[in-house]
Structure 1
Amino acid sequence: MESSPSLAGPFALGTFAADGPAFPGLVAGDRVLDLSGLAPDTRALLERWDDVLPLLHDATGAWRPLDGLRVLPPVEPRQIFQSGANYRTHVAELAVAHEPAGGRPAEQVRAEVAAMMDRRAAEDLPYVFAGLPSSITGPYDDVVLPSWCTEPDWELELVAVIGCPAFRVPVESALGHVAAYTIANDVTAREAVFRRDMKEIGTDWLRAKNAPTFTPLGPYLVPAAFVADPQDLRVTLRLNGATMQDESTKDMIFDVARLVSYVSQTVELLPGDLLLTGSPAGNGLHHGRLLRDGDVMEGTISGLGSQRNRCRDER
């Protein structure tokens, strides 16, 4: 098989639909092979990943042109876990953006935040919260901006997709539980992140992150075997053609292995579960330009393909 454009490796997995029911498919170049004979969906394939992956290299059958198929979210997860404040430059930018007018100088804020991140890294304390599968939408579908949301923002992120279940796994073996990687845009209602009515509660991720369509996912699941180093990928988001995010995953405070291990100490990660690894620098809050009706977001991660989503005001 020839490599698909912009994808690492000879093939990837996705979920597709035409006139009938959705089906799992093997995508290579501009064609798709229906895999519903192997399993009803991609999550079922991930549940047998060690057995399935060798079969995909030699898969045969009637190929269909990719053009004309609707590309759906590549997997339906049971659980979603999201890492916050995991890119050094991003955390510093947010701290400066949230500093009140007339407050501390930007360089002082950055120095204090850098010291805080060094402490977190030394103490091995990632910050992870849970998301809802109902927020997921397709890689080319519209993102609907709720009428109540006044500060919608983008956050393009690398996603680790679990294959073999993981419970209390050490860092050294954690990547062995990652079957594939994909892309998510973790759209955020910035005004809802911090509870103004009771600061002691802290963050309100339910309202800030989980509106319908707030998590464009995909386009595909690229097998981890084809991704040489998840800590050396370029994350780029363009808004109406202008580059807003352009950062390497090298800037992560906690790498993918540490995140998988950390989450698995509390819960069992299951096949198809998603672990969003955090947003790099360049969000709208930093640029002073948040999402509006008609905006087009184009997100790319090297080797994982691209997604394109138009924003639509629900009003």
Structure 2
Amino acid sequence: MKSAAASALFAGPFALATLSEGRDGPAFPALVTADGRVADLRLAFDDDRLTLRTLLDDWQHALPRLRALAHDDAAARLPLADFRVRAPVEPRQVFQSGANYRQHVIDLHVAHRSPGDDRSEEERRAEAAEIMDRRAAEDLPYVFIGLPSALTGPYDDVVLPAWAEQPDWELEVAAVIGRPAHRVPVEQALEHVAGYTIANDLTDRATVFRRDMPQIGTDWLRSKNAPGFTPLGPWLVPAESIADPGNLQLTLKLNGETMQDESTKDMIFDVARMVSYASQTARLLPGDLVLTGSPTGNGMHWGRLLRDGDVMEGSVTGLGTQRTRCVAEAAS
């Protein structure tokens, strides 16, 4: 799908993208300027095999060259509208955050009533609020692993699997790693972030918890990792263009109706804390994604889940807008 140049609005003088000519054309890394013009980075860096991930492998040296290219009026440019916009990066690892927006977690706690729990909504909300306060005080983020194969482009159709009974949306800010990070302190964590992009981390609520063995707990493989269940992009916006990742507005519209509209101020753990926490166990690599959780306003909150033909439009301050259409998979 080709996108209009008007959708190229983002913070700063440039962003990065992965583009192709048509659906099946070879993908290539590009620099996109705010007026919707494109520079092929393979030509600019004289490297036919360049990808955004290999660019991120040498982010420290690549960034000054990208700044210069963005301000070079003589550089060759093409209209963005001539190309298909794909997911900006192909990460080796995807780190996902759960229960990281205070109001969202309280809403889910109320929506997922346990069998036999006859307490009032007010009592269950008070319990959830107490849990959130305790987590924040004990400094315990919740991070799990996603699959890169679940990623799809920001304008691609999203296939709803026939087995998914309660597919739900979860708009998120994703940090893109630009320097290897292992056991980094919170104070240094943002130095390892190259930039930010948008992720819609879809979840089938019906398969989050194992019904056959409740004691096992959550089943993130089944509920979150169907092919294309994580639309990503459109842009990788350099971190230097985002003044405060802790003050961005996330807005998701479903068929034109606003469902999520919340600030990252409601995060329990900010981006730096999430990156630092993930790095205490794993070694984060350039191009890896750290998804930072989703705010209140999901389908479970509204009592309305995704259906065939639904159109989701997700925007984040400074990061642009993605637009995806849901297509139901035919039952086998």
* Equivalent residue number for residue 51 of structure 1: 61
The partner residue of 2:39 within 17, 26, 33 is: 33
The partner residue of 2:284 within 260, 269, 273 is: 269
Structure 2, unaligned runs of 5 or more: 1-5
Superposition TM-score, scaled by structure 1 size: 0.97
* Cα distance in structure 2, aligned partners of 1:18 and 1:173: 39
The partner residue of 2:199 within 184, 192, 198 is: 184
Q: Does 1:7 align with 2:10?
A: yes
* Cα distance in structure 2, aligned partners of 1:270 and 1:261: 13
Aligned length: 313
SS in 1 for 2:273: helix
* Cα distance in structure 2, aligned partners of 1:231 and 1:204: 29
- 8 Å CA contact 1:137–1:216 kept in 2: the answer is yes
Amino acid corresponding to residue 12 of structure 2 in structure 1 = G
* Cα distance in structure 1, aligned partners of 2:302 and 2:82: 37
- 8 Å CA contact 1:4–1:11 kept in 2: the answer is no
* Cα distance in structure 1, aligned partners of 2:61 and 2:106: 44
* Equivalent residue number for residue 164 of structure 1: 179
Decide whether aligned partners of structure 1 residues 138 and 108 sit closer, same or farther in structure 2, where only a CA change above 3 A counts: same
Amino acid corresponding to residue 82 of structure 2 in structure 1 = G
* Cα distance in structure 1, aligned partners of 2:206 and 2:8: 38
Amino acid corresponding to residue 243 of structure 2 in structure 1 = A
Report deviation, 1:195.
0.2
Deviations 1:256-305 (A, max 9, x none): 00110100000100000000000100000110000000000000000000
* Cα distance in structure 2, aligned partners of 1:314 and 1:111: 40
SS in 2 for 1:265: helix
Q: Percent identity?
A: 66
Report deviation, 1:4.
8.2
* Equivalent residue number for residue 140 of structure 1: 155
* Equivalent residue number for residue 322 of structure 2: 307
SS in 1 for 2:281: coil
Q: Map 1:54-203 onto structure 2 (within 5 A).
A: 54-59=64-69, 60=72, 61-99=75-113, 103-203=118-218
Report deviation, 1:6.
3.2
Amino acid corresponding to residue 72 of structure 1 in structure 2 = R
Amino acid corresponding to residue 191 of structure 1 in structure 2 = A
Amino acid corresponding to residue 91 of structure 2 in structure 1 = P
Amino acid corresponding to residue 45 of structure 1 in structure 2 = L
Report deviation, 1:118.
1.1
Superposition TM-score, scaled by structure 2 size: 0.92
Deviations 1:84-137 (A, max 9, x none): 000000000001111258721111111111111111111111110000000000
* Cα distance in structure 2, aligned partners of 1:156 and 1:115: 25
Report deviation, 1:5.
5.1
* Equivalent residue number for residue 227 of structure 2: 212
* Cα distance in structure 1, aligned partners of 2:141 and 2:102: 12
* Cα distance in structure 2, aligned partners of 1:253 and 1:31: 38
The partner residue of 1:240 within 255, 258, 261 is: 255
SS in 2 for 1:285: helix
Greater mean deviation of Cα atoms: 47-56 or 230-239: 47-56
Amino acid corresponding to residue 65 of structure 2 in structure 1 = L
